[in-house]
Structure 1
Amino acid sequence: MLEIAIVEDEENYRNVLCDYLKKFENETGEEIHASIFTDGDEIVENYTAKYDVILMDIEMEFMNGMDAATKIREVDREVIIIFITNMAQYAIQGYAVDALDYVLKPISYFAFSQKLQRAVERMKKRKERYISIVSKNGVNKVAVSEIGWIESEGHRLIYHAKDNVYESTLNSMKEIENELKDYNFFRCNKGYLVNLAHVKAIRDGWAILTNGQVMISRAKKTEFQKALTRYAGETVK
């Protein structure tokens, strides 16, 4: 899932950007969660480095986009910043804060989608992590982001990926849990390790995933809900 922040003080442009993100999501299949901020000072206050992309207006009332981006860069060197502006000369200054690009107002969907796609490609190249799953048929290199959940069955681990299922006897569940601890995986019961990025809903004690469902133990229910909330981040304001 892509975490995108929209920082824009004009309501009509906020609405346009939200609509364009939905259209981009439908066209590309990318899952997007958008957080809305109405001024630069809002996103800077209590900023945490959880966003993949920030769509930042430059001219805002309380804190302009350039100042906000400068403060963000003090704590987050990785987030991709795309400026939204009606004056190209302001956007040129974006190189000082390592902005990827800028989109001119009025915003056309074509220009917006091209630049967002560029951001997504850069982000994936930088962030993608692979693991090697050793099975009786050989070694499979699988992107961590493609794994929905991992199931322990006897002495086997079964990896449920987006387009395939892999079995391995090389690692224990504890070992793979430690290996993936920094990649938003959660042990929702003794036999299942779930990728939070693939969780669509929690229903009647089950985690509903993009490619299946997994039971959540009673002991882990509250902790799992908290972990999912932390991962999803702030709801749209």
Structure 2
Amino acid sequence: MAVITIAVCDEIRKDAQKLYRQLSTLLLDAEILIYRSRQSLLDGLTEGHKICNVVFMGLDGENGKSLETVRAIRLRGNYIPVIMVAENEKFYKEAFEVFAFNYLTKPVESGELEHVLLPILTTCEREGGKALHFHYRTQVYTLQHNSLAYISSSLHNVTFHLTDGKKLSCRARLGDFAGQLSDSNFMRCHQSFCINLEKVNTLKKNSFVIGQTEIPISRAYLKTARKKYKDYLAEQKVCS
């Protein structure tokens, strides 16, 4: 399931295709829909063809008809975030009068896209389940917490071990993700390991077992890790 669904509407075909490629590279698990005309976008949103988390709207250089499309969306009570993409800043003021989320000028850089999308990704996380985001090379990855079994670290490399057996890595330290993993079921049990309590099969004397993998608990974390796991089990029992 896609973490975020993005609509791209720009009647300049090459610009729409370029934006599609940039977004596909930045957000590998995003669902990206291209609308060939303003009317097709308006019809889709009005009739509920697809629920989108954000719209990238190309602005007309001549008369700003795209602004009227956004205004029509707003008049129907839809306040989906719309990011306006224009050749220049001519319609900057008018864009925010129709409650544009942001305003970008062409050519749009990937860094700009990443910056404006981060708060929207955070909102999608709150509404659709917790997720972890990380940047590696030219891509932004989004991993749902429930798809992660555990995270390991070695020599300034962090590896995310997914429940389906796949692995993703990036240059970082395990501590770099502490903020994103706070208030979750992830727990540090070793200098090099952070586990998802939801995925633990067994607690042994000095280790957790997740699937076929045995993950050590270091002496420094032993007391805290064992208590937190037992508290987690007790909480699950109460909930059930």
- Give the structure-2-normalised TM-score: 0.50
Pick the aligned partner of 2:198 from 154, 160, 165. Answer: 165
Return the alpha-carbon distance in structure 2 between the equivalents of residues 164 and 73 of structure 1. 43
Shift of 1:55: 0.3
Residue identity over aligned pairs, in percent, reads 13
Return the alpha-carbon distance in structure 2 between the equivalents of residues 125 and 84 of structure 1. 25
In the alignment of these two chains, the number of paired residues is 142
| Residue of structure 1 in register with 2:40 after alignment | 42
Distance 1:8 1:127, change over 3 A: same
Return the alpha-carbon distance in structure 2 between the equivalents of residues 99 and 41 of structure 1. 18
Paired residues of 2:61 and 2:86 also in contact (CA < 8 A): no
* Structure having the higher Rg: 2
Paired residues of 1:40 and 1:63 also in contact (CA < 8 A): no
Distance 1:169 1:74, change over 3 A: farther
Q: Show the 5 A alignment for 1:1-237.
A: 1-26=3-28, 31-47=29-45, 48=48, 50-59=51-60, 64-121=65-122, 123-124=123-124, 127=127, 146-147=145-146, 163-165=196-198, 167=233, 168-172=236-240
Return the alpha-carbon distance in structure 2 between the equivalents of residues 22 and 34 of structure 1. 8
| Residue of structure 2 in register with 1:198 after alignment | none
Paired residues of 2:53 and 2:124 also in contact (CA < 8 A): no
Return the alpha-carbon distance in structure 1 between the equivalents of residues 76 and 196 of structure 2. 37
Q: Deviations over 1:98-147 (max 9, x none)?
A: 111111012222222222224334x34763678xxxxxxxxxxxxxx644
Structure 1: 4+ residue segments shifted above 4 A: 60-63
Shift of 1:8: 0.8
Shift of 1:82: 0.3
Secondary structure in structure 2 of the residue aligned to 1:107? coil
Gaps of 5+ in 2: 131-143, 148-184, 187-194, 200-232
Return the alpha-carbon distance in structure 2 between the equivalents of residues 126 and 91 of structure 1. 30
Shift of 1:21: 0.7
Return the alpha-carbon distance in structure 1 between the equivalents of residues 33 and 71 of structure 2. 20
Return the alpha-carbon distance in structure 1 between the equivalents of residues 75 and 97 of structure 2. 12
Paired residues of 1:39 and 1:62 also in contact (CA < 8 A): no
Return the alpha-carbon distance in structure 2 between the equivalents of residues 96 and 114 of structure 1. 22
Superposition CA RMSD, Å: 3.3
Shift of 1:19: 1.1
| Residue of structure 2 in register with 1:193 after alignment | none
Gaps of 5+ in 1: 131-144, 149-159, 173-237
Distance 1:88 1:163, change over 3 A: farther
Paired residues of 1:39 and 1:60 also in contact (CA < 8 A): no
Return the alpha-carbon distance in structure 1 between the equivalents of residues 117 and 90 of structure 2. 21
Return the alpha-carbon distance in structure 2 between the equivalents of residues 83 and 68 of structure 1. 12
